[in-house]
Chains A and B, each alone.
Chain A
Amino acid sequence: MKLYEIAHSRAGDKGNTLTLSLIPFKESDYELLCTQITAQKVQEHLQGIVEGEIIRYELPNISSLLFVCQQALLGGVTTSLAIDTHGKTLSYALLEMEIAYTNF
């Protein structure tokens, strides 16, 4: 199963840092995301996009995760040669991740 089937995400930017929220459609899936979508897994998944470290923040208060990715915007919003300098489209790169989902 792909992540976009059970969760949604928005990308944000600060300089060369990319932020990706990860929010399950059902709050009951939060634990599953915590277990499977680790910073390391995201780092492997986003290889070729994120060059620096990824920090994962857990927000149980809103059943959501936040990934803060360093060196992810080809030098930064204002001076990158990419079409999408902000990396606004990259939330859907995260959502391409595979997740093992069993609905008990």
Chain B
Amino acid sequence: MKKEKIRIGCGAGFSGDRIEPALVLAEKGELDYLVLECLAERTIALAQKRKLQDASKGYDPLLEKRIKSLLPLLVKNQIKLITNMGAANPLAAAQKVIEIAKELNLPLKVAAVTGDDATQWVKNSSTHFTILENGQALNDYEVISINAYMGIDGILEALEADAQIIITGRVSDPSLFLAPMIHEFDWQIEDFDLLGKGTVIGHLLECAGHITGGYFAEPIMKPIEGLENLGHPFADIYADGSAIISKVKGTGGKITLQTAKEQLLYEVINPHEYYTPDVIADFTTVKLEEIGKNQIWVTGGTGKAKPETYKASVGYKAFYLGEGEISYAGFNAVGRAKLAGEILSQRLKPNFETFRIDYIGLNSIFREEFSAKMKVEESYLPEVRLRVSGKASTADEASLVGEEVEALYTNGPAAGGGVRKNINEVIGIVSILIDRNLLKANVDILSA
């Protein structure tokens, strides 16, 4: 039966997000749907690596923790969960959820949405793929994973099968929100204006604490109360594609025109054409209005026909990162740190094609030229931390960076302290386009 209004909450905006805002939403939010968006570009490549090591893994490492605490509330309040915590292995994630449901003695229907993993398909294909960012050939890369940003199709199929928990792999973030709107309001998937509106609403919600004032806060110009207890948002969405965005009473944070505007423009490359697999949305027709405390009314937003291709993220073996850090304080701290930087530059130069020296507290963030414009008196800095980072082709080579920093303990300059060293295998991400007719969403339904 067609509904007039649904309420969707967003309880997580990235894989490392807090657990309890979703619990508050599930307990007190009177939700129809809860979305947990937990999958960044690189997260899925790391998950693919875990899956290669253990075929029963490769889903979000926090899945168990999140689901165990949420499931009783979801079942009690009849809330459907849509999440991309399946990462590289939605099926194993769904099996894990079933296992948890059985332990808790809760009846449950779980859907695993797959079809995004194009790694084998591309490797076996004779098509020549070009990297979008630099025009190079895909064959030049040591590929770990290829995952396409899928749209609403698989989630819609899972909703039609009445699954209560829907676990996807790589799906475009707004699609997680758009699919239940289409399902409940009976929107036509070719009605691109409505899909554009729904995509705007999804985009406003998808970063969770962004729109409730968390990442917005600044104590002087943009003070926000209760950040330690930040509420995550929900939206009352109407069949005409308008919505009111709000949060649970008593939670921290604030939803205002300003927080909504910051989120609307977040990571937008072209506001006239915001590409998703479902629609190309236009954000320049969106209207936002503050209609009450913590209540933003969203109207407008339009769209045009969806792209013919899926964008896919390619995870590849990039390099080994070697890092080392050491601190200096007191008289001429910057001078000693810079001397240490020079020493390290000379010693690392023969072994590293690319390395970088940062002075944390002075110019590690805004980079040297811009930081210099900010006119800080270097001699007044009470302390500065030298950071050296370099790219290497093996972990062994990378370890040299940290070792050289550590060796400053006896070789000087004076009074360097607090050395930390680190080696990390870096996975790079680039993109390719895949004809959308060549990838098909797949849905498996499991029951407890």
Binds A, one of B103-111, B350-358, B432-440: B350-358
Taking the closest CB of chain A, its distance from the CB of B89, in whole angstroms, is 21
- Flag whether B319 is at the interface (Cβ < 8 A): yes
Check B41 against A78 for contact (C-beta < 8 Å): yes
Check B283 against A10 for contact (C-beta < 8 Å): no
- Flag whether B6 is at the interface (Cβ < 8 A): no
Check B370 against A66 for contact (C-beta < 8 Å): no
Which residues B290-349 have CB closer than 8 A to chain A? 300, 318-319, 321
Smallest Cβ-Cβ distance to A20: which chain B residue: B265
Check B265 against A59 for contact (C-beta < 8 Å): yes
Instruction: State the interface size on chain B (CB cutoff 8 A).
Output: 56
**A59-B262 contact given A78-B42, A79-B319, CB 8 Å threshold:** no
- Taking each of B267, B300, B360, B428, which has the highest tally of chain A beta carbons within 10 Å of its own beta carbon? B267
Query: A68 to B370, alpha carbons, bound, how many Å?
Result: 19
Query: A79 to B264, alpha carbons, bound, how many Å?
Result: 27
Taking the closest CB of chain A, its distance from the CB of B368, in whole angstroms, is 7
Check A59 against B267 for contact (C-beta < 8 Å): no
Check A76 against B271 for contact (C-beta < 8 Å): no
Check B319 against A8 for contact (C-beta < 8 Å): no
- Flag whether A16 is at the interface (Cβ < 8 A): yes
Residues of chain B within 8 A of A59, CB atoms compared: 265, 271, 283-284
Which residues B189-210 have CB closer than 8 A to chain A? 210
Check A81 against B267 for contact (C-beta < 8 Å): no
Check A83 against B369 for contact (C-beta < 8 Å): no
Check B391 against A19 for contact (C-beta < 8 Å): no
**A23-B267 contact given A46-B370, A81-B321, A93-B370, CB 8 Å threshold:** no
**A4-B221 contact given A81-B389, A93-B366, CB 8 Å threshold:** yes
- Flag whether B395 is at the interface (Cβ < 8 A): no
Which residues B242-271 have CB closer than 8 A to chain A? 258, 261-271
Check A47 against B369 for contact (C-beta < 8 Å): yes
Instruction: State the interface size on chain A (CB cutoff 8 A).
Output: 39
Taking the closest CB of chain A, its distance from the CB of B326, in whole angstroms, is 15
Smallest Cβ-Cβ distance to B356: which chain A residue: A81
Count, A-B residue pairs, CB within 8 A: 123
Which residues A48-102 have CB closer than 8 A to chain B? 48-49, 57, 59, 61-64, 66, 68, 76-79, 81-84, 89-90, 93, 96
Query: A39 to B286, alpha carbons, bound, how many Å?
Result: 23
- Flag whether A43 is at the interface (Cβ < 8 A): no
- Flag whether B118 is at the interface (Cβ < 8 A): no
Check B262 against A23 for contact (C-beta < 8 Å): yes
Check B286 against A10 for contact (C-beta < 8 Å): no
Query: A82 to B321, alpha carbons, bound, how many Å?
Result: 11
Taking the closest CB of chain A, its distance from the CB of B382, in whole angstroms, is 20
Query: A93 to B24, alpha carbons, bound, how many Å?
Result: 36
Check A57 against B429 for contact (C-beta < 8 Å): no
Check B268 against A90 for contact (C-beta < 8 Å): no
- Flag whether B65 is at the interface (Cβ < 8 A): no
Check A61 against B267 for contact (C-beta < 8 Å): no
Taking the closest CB of chain B, its distance from the CB of A42, in whole angstroms, is 12
Taking the closest CB of chain A, its distance from the CB of B437, in whole angstroms, is 26
Query: A66 to B288, alpha carbons, bound, how many Å?
Result: 17
Which residue in B269, B319, B428 is a CB contact (below 8 Å) of A14? B269
Query: A89 to B269, alpha carbons, bound, how many Å?
Result: 18
Taking the closest CB of chain B, its distance from the CB of A39, in whole angstroms, is 14
1/0 per position for A17-49, CB-CB distance to B under 8 A?
101010101000000000000000000001111
Taking the closest CB of chain A, its distance from the CB of B18, in whole angstroms, is 18
Query: A87 to B61, alpha carbons, bound, how many Å?
Result: 26
Check B268 against A12 for contact (C-beta < 8 Å): yes
Taking the closest CB of chain B, its distance from the CB of A62, in whole angstroms, is 5
Check A21 against B221 for contact (C-beta < 8 Å): no
Taking the closest CB of chain A, its distance from the CB of B209, in whole angstroms, is 13
Residues of chain A within 8 A of B366, CB atoms compared: 49, 89-90, 93
Query: A66 to B369, alpha carbons, bound, how many Å?
Result: 24
Which residue in B133, B285, B364 is a CB contact (below 8 Å) of A83? B364
Query: A79 to B141, alpha carbons, bound, how many Å?
Result: 14
Check A81 against B286 for contact (C-beta < 8 Å): no
- Could you show 9 A-B contacts with beta carbons less than 8 Å apart? A9-B262, A19-B266, A59-B265, A59-B284, A62-B261, A76-B429, A77-B429, A83-B358, A96-B373
Interchain residue pairs A-B with the least CB separation, the first 7:
A48-B369, A12-B267, A21-B265, A81-B356, A81-B389, A78-B429, A10-B262
Having A62-B264, A66-B268, A79-B319, one finds 13 other A-B pairs with CB under 8 Å, namely A8-B221, A10-B263, A21-B265, A23-B265, A48-B370, A59-B265, A64-B265, A68-B269, A81-B354, A81-B389, A82-B358, A83-B365, A89-B366
